Amino acid sequence: MKLKSVLMATALTGVAFGAQAQEVTVMSWGGAYTKSQVEAYHKPFTAETGIKVNSVDADNPATPIKAQVEAGNVSIDVADVEFSDAVRLCDEGLLEPIDHGMLPAAPDGTAATDDFIEGALQDCAVANIVWSTVMAYNSENVDGTPTTIADFFDTGKFPGKRGLRKSAKATLEMALMADGVPAGEVYDVLETDEGIDRAFTKLDTIKDDIVWWEAGAQPPQLLADGEVVMSTAYNGRIFNAAVGEGQPLEIVWDGQILDFDLFVVPKGAPNKDAAMKFIAFSTDTKRLADQASWISYGPARKSSGAMVGLYSDGKTEMAPHMPTAAANLENALVNNFEFWVDMDAELNERFNAWLAN
Partner 1 sequence: MTDATANGKPEMLTTADGKPLKAALIRAQARARRRAFLLVLPLLAFILITFVMPIGQMLHQSVYNPGFVMHEDIGSGKRTPIMTNLKVWFDENPAGTEPDEAAFAALHEDMLLLRELRAPGQVGTRVNYERGGSRSMFTKAARRAERMDPPYKEAFLDVDEEWADPELWRVMRDASSAYTFNFYLAALDRSKNADGEIVSVDENRQIYIKLFTRTLFLSVLITFLTFLLGYPIAHLLATLPLRYSNLLMIFVLLPFWTSLLVRTTSWMVLLQSQGVVNDALVGMGILGDDNRLQMMYNQIGTVVAMTHILLPFMVLPLYSVMRPINPSYVRAARSLGATSWTAFRRIYFPQTVPGIGAGALLVFILAVGYYITPALVGGADGQLISNLIAFHMQNSLNWSLAAALAALLLAGILILYWLYDRLIGIDNLKLG
Is residue 348 within the footprint of partner 1 (CB under 8 A)? yes
Rounded to 5°, angle at Cα 334 from 353 and 238: 80
Among 102, 306, 310, 353, binds partner 1 (CB under 8 A): 353
Minimum CB–partner distance for residue 69 and partner 1 (Å): 6
Among 3, 102, 306, 310, binds partner 1 (CB under 8 A): 3
Instruction: Show the DSSP H helices in 258-305 as ranges.
Output: 272-282, 285-291, 302-305
Could you say which residues in the range 131-190 bind partner 1, by CB under 8 A? 161
Helix 193-204 to helix 337-356 angle (10° resolution) is: 50
Minimum CB–partner distance for residue 271 and partner 1 (Å): 16
Is residue 272 within the footprint of partner 1 (CB under 8 A)? no
Torsion over CA of 262, 265, 271 and 272, rounded to 10 degrees?
110
Could you say which residues in the range 71-100 bind partner 1, by CB under 8 A? 88, 90-94
Is residue 268 within the footprint of partner 1 (CB under 8 A)? yes
Helix 83-91 to helix 337-356 angle (10° resolution) is: 100
Tell me the backbone φ, ψ of residue 225, rounded to 5 degrees. Answer: -75, -15
Is residue 347 within the footprint of partner 1 (CB under 8 A)? yes
Is residue 200 within the footprint of partner 1 (CB under 8 A)? yes
Helix, strand or coil for residue 113? helix
Cross-strand pairs, 132: 258
Stretch that binds partner 1, among 23-31, 34-42, 62-70, 174-182 (CB under 8 A): 62-70
DSSP state of 237: H
Q: Do 135 and 152 touch, CB atoms closer than 8 A?
A: yes
Site string for partner 1, 224-243 (x = CB under 8 A): -xxx----------------
Stretch that binds partner 1, among 41-49, 107-115, 327-335, 348-356 (CB under 8 A): 348-356
Chain centroid to Cα 86, Å, comes to 12
Cα separation, 256 vs 232, in Å, equals: 9
Is residue 355 within the footprint of partner 1 (CB under 8 A)? yes
Applying CB under 8 A, the residues found at the interface with partner 1 are 1-3, 6, 60, 63-64, 66-67, 69, 88, 90-94, 161, 200, 207, 210-212, 225-227, 267-268, 338, 341-350, 352-357
